[in-house]
Structure formats: structure tokens, C-alpha cells
Chains A and B, each alone.
Chain A
Amino acid sequence: MSEHEMGFVVELSSDVKNRQRMTADFRKFITGLEEGKFLATKCKKCGKKFMPPRFTCPCGGTDLEWFEINPEGTLYTWSIVHFAPEGIAKQTNVPYVLGVIEFEDELRLAAHMKGLTSKPKVGMKVKVAPQELENGNLAYFIKPA
């Protein structure tokens, strides 16, 4: 990709199903994704919220409840990656665009960006959305809102 032809951005490596050891807690997050929801956690002891979800809290709390977050937010920061780490390079083309979306309560999530028609801009309205890949696996991407 040259800098003139953004818009393209690869879909991959964010293939969350196949690249994770599936713990019961993490499965809950994936199940949410399959239903189109982004699930975060909240500690019942101290009230702190986590995205990406944590399953235990630094306060010592182990009882956390899931809640759905509004998938819309703003782009907190970004990077256009031209050299991937070797383990990722086999599965993705470069360059790819990485974004960090900021939701309500200053919760943030990193993911690949899709659907850009120009260079990403900090503060632009974006949303995060799950998407089934051609191979049937599931991924999620940050897209312009």
C-alpha cells in the first residue's frame, strides 16, 4: 500500500478464535462477539471497569460482572505498521493500520482498522465491529463511524 491508497487494509491476525487459548472467561468475550456485542467487566468489590476484560481485579476481587459497552468512540491513537513481527508476518500483509479506540469511561481497545479512506486521525469518530473472515473465523475491527 502506498500512502495514497489507504482503504485496503488487511484483515487478519486479529483472528481471535484460532490464536487464543480458550479459557472459560475468554470464551464469554468471544460469545459476546458472536452476538455482535463487546463485553467488558466490572469488579463488584471496587467498581473498576476493564476493557479488555480482566477476570480478576488488582484490588483482589475475583467476582467481576460482564456488561456490554457502546461500541462507538473516538480514535485514541494509531500506527501504520510496515514491518510485522515474524510470527505475524506469515499471516498478514504489510502495511496494516492499527488503532486504539477509546470508549466511555476511558476504556480502550486495540485492533486493526478497516474502511479508512485517508490517514487515521486522533479524535476521529470510530466504532469497533465484529466481522466474520473468509475462512469463517471471527475478528473485530475499528472502522470509521
Chain B
Amino acid sequence: MAIPKVAIVGIGHSKYGKRGKVIQEDIEGEKATYPAVTLRELAHESYFPALEHAGITNDDVEGSVVGIAAEAFAGQGAGAALVADEVGIIGKPTMRVETACATGSTAIRTAWAQIASGQFDVIAAIGVETMTWLSSSYATELMSVAGDHRWEYIYGISFPTFYSLYAARKMSVDGLTREQLSSVPVKSHHYGYYNKNAQLRRQITIEDATGSIPIAEPLRLYDCCLISDGSATVIMASEEKAKEMSSEPLWLTGIGTSSDTFRVTDRPNLTNIEGNVRAGQMAYKQSGKTAKDIDVAYVHDCFSIAEIMAYEDLGFCERGKGGEWSAERGAYIDGPGVPTNVDGGLKSKGHPLGATGIGQVVDAYKQVYGTVEKPRQVPDVEVALTHNVGQHGQFVNVFILEP
């Protein structure tokens, strides 16, 4: 069943990176640590380029949805009010949404619903996160407390640990190998190297990945995505407005979404994420597309194992064969299947939580209209897919996008 027509008409994307912290005296003369880049500055970096790209002014924007995953990362409560005010969407409705690492795509899904309902015609979805001013152990803590406090967190199940539980299980059940896992970040860095917005632009080898330090075995450092500062914005419009204001709209023809159990021990299996499957099928059905129709995909590679499961869950390869698919270059532009994460993914481009799902859509837009750096441009993109996961499947959004 087709869904109401809503389009992306403007895109903006900050460079993702590690801006770090500054230590300076606070008002009482005590040394204090602050983020080197603020939410305000980051929001500017993607919002105004998006507005300019849409060819409109703030007078045309009727409201905003702001994705910030964790107030603790920003040190700012009610962050939506700050961001909306800062970029000048004043006197108009705003709200913050949060679905962990899927926060950005949920901002788009929420903006979509506000337009699809007929209430508004033009809404900005803005995702922003400042993370790198905190120590990585504290950042890990902030992400780990989202696990069940009673039955998971107290055992020190960190965020990488959740995914390592899938990796160990999949190695045993599906024969996934260490080298197959390593082939995922090798591809991410291969393409991220060319992406001017990427945080870590460096090519790596299978040996680099396999030989990197263990984080939560079987996962190693190069299996894990980055901690990043960054922002991304899309301006979204109703069918009527989109046709009026843009000669190059990108239509959201599928808005699939689902979830999975809170506790990892309650999942029906740990070789796939069934929430991915449900969200993917919903998006395919709405758009009338199948995995075979997808020309470029952005999947949530918070960990290498997550990308391998996504290949299977979204139907890019056979179930149980994701590892082989990756090792056989199934997801390369010159490979046999759907080119995936040719922006570098969360691993090389970076993962500023609230921005990530929007950043995927921004890059999809650029792929469709042929404006990314040449070595990572997929020829003739007619259908793009984005897949953004919160936690390890507690939140999943899959979008299909078409010109």
C-alpha cells in the first residue's frame, strides 16, 4: 500500500569528527570540561546548508523535529528548544525525539508523520550530537545503561558486548569467521576514505582489523564504530509544496519501522535481528520494491556483525550467508549485489547518534542526484535504502527513497 507522498527537498551535513573537549575555568574559577563544539554550532553546520539547498528561508519552515539521543552527551536539557531557537525556527512547534542510535531516522519518521497527516507542509528534521568531549569509558557507560539494569547492565554488558553475543553465536551457528567480520570495516574504510564528510579517512587491511585490540571478544577495535560529533539536516515537504519548491525532490516511498525485545536473552535467536526483518518488509511492501531493486544501501554498522546481519535481514543475501557475502565483496560498488555503506558507514564516516539516521538519507540523496565524490558514486541510482538501528534492535527504521 502506497503511503502519503512526502519528499526530502533540502539536505545539509556537517563533517563528522572528533572535536574533543576544552578545559577552562568556570564562573567560580574552577577548572571545568566542556565540549569543544556546542549543539548550537553543530546545528548551524547542517541546518543552513539544508535551507539554502531547499532554496527557501525560515519563513517557509513550519516546524522542526530534533534528534538528540542523550542529554548527558550534550549537557543540555530540552535540546530541541535550544536547537530550534538557534537556527531561527522560532514561534513554531518543535520536539525532541529519542530512540537511541536510531534517533536521527526517528526524527525523519516523526517529521514525515506530521506532514503526511496534513497538519504541516514543511518540517525540518535536524539531528545533532556532541560526544567526543567525554571519555570513551563514560560514553560507553551512557550507552550501556540502556541495557536492562537488573539483568544486563550489572554484569557489565557494555554496548559492544551485546553485539559480541551475536557474533559469538553466529560464528557457531552460521560458521561466521573472523576474516569475514574484518572484511566489513575494510570496505567501510575503503569508501570512507573518499568521503569528505567522514571522520576517519584511512584505508585499512584485513590484517589491521583482525589484529586490532580486543574490545569485547569476538569483537575487536576495528569491528566497532566511532564516537563522533556531528549534525545532519533534511528539509521535508508535502507533495504539493515539494513539487513547487524543488526540481530534485527525493521521495520517501517506504517508512518501515519495528522493534525487538528489551532483553537480549529474550530474542528468538542471536544470529539475526528480527526487528530488521519486520521493518524492512514493511518498507518494501509500501514502496512496492524488493531487495533486488535497491541500487544503494546505508545499513547500521555500529559493529561489523550488525552490518552482516543487516545484509541477511534486509534480503541482500541469503540468511546465514552474510559473512560470505561480505568476504566475497557482495556489497562493493563493483560487486554482485547492493553497494552498501559507500559513505564509509558508522565505522569510517562516524556515528554522532542523533545525526546518523539523517546523515544516511543525506548521502542517499547525493547518490541519487550523482553528487558524491567520484570513486564512491554508484552509477544510475533509482532506489536507495537506509537502515538505522537503536540499541541492538529495540528501535529499527528502514526507509526507501526514490527520485
Which positions in A face B, CB cutoff 8 Å? 13-16, 19-20, 26, 51-52, 76-89, 92, 95-96, 98, 100, 108-112, 120-123
Contact = CB atoms under 8 A, between A and B. Distances in A.
Contacts of A79: 157, 161, 164-165, 168, 216-219
A52 B263 contact: yes
Contacts of A13: 154-156
Question: Which are the 9 A-B pairs with shortest beta-carbon distances?
Answer: A122-B172, A85-B144, A86-B141, A108-B265, A80-B217, A79-B164, A88-B156, A77-B169, A85-B141
Given A77-B168, A77-B169, A109-B265, A98 B161 contact: yes
B141 A83 contact: no
Interface of B: 135-138, 140-141, 143-145, 150-158, 160-161, 164-166, 168-169, 171-173, 213-219, 263-266, 270
A119 to B, nearest CB: 8
Q: From DSSP, what is the main secondary structure of chain B's interface residues?
A: helix
A98 B151 contact: no
Given A16-B154, A20-B150, A76-B270, A87 B145 contact: yes
18 contacts: A13-B154, A13-B156, A26-B150, A52-B265, A76-B270, A77-B172, A79-B164, A81-B158, A82-B213, A83-B136, A83-B137, A83-B140, A85-B141, A86-B140, A87-B141, A98-B155, A110-B151, A122-B173
A89 B152 CA distance: 15
A83 B201 CA distance: 25
Given A82-B214, A100-B165, A123-B172, A52 B156 contact: no
B168 to A, nearest CB: 5
Instruction: Find the residue from A13, A79, A81, A112 having the highest chain B CB count within 10 A.
Output: A79
Contacts of A16: 154
Given A77-B270, A92-B156, A111-B155, A82 B215 contact: yes
B151 A83 contact: no
A123 to B, nearest CB: 7
A12 to B, nearest CB: 9
Contacts, number: 118
A87 B145 CA distance: 9
Given A98-B161, A100-B165, A108-B265, A81 B154 contact: no
A87 B14 CA distance: 32
A11 B161 CA distance: 18
A85 B217 contact: no
A34 to B, nearest CB: 17
A85 B153 contact: yes
A80 B165 CA distance: 10
Contacts of B214: 80, 82, 95
A81 B156 contact: yes
A100 to B, nearest CB: 6
Contacts of B219: 79
Contacts of B155: 13-14, 98, 110-112
Contacts of A112: 155-156
A120 B143 CA distance: 26
Nearest to B159: A85
Contact of A84 (B158, B264, B266): B158
A120 B168 CA distance: 10
B169 A122 contact: yes
A98 B169 CA distance: 13
Nearest to A91: B156
Contact of B216 (A82, A92, A122): A82
A28 to B, nearest CB: 14
Contacts of A81: 156-158, 161, 164, 216-217
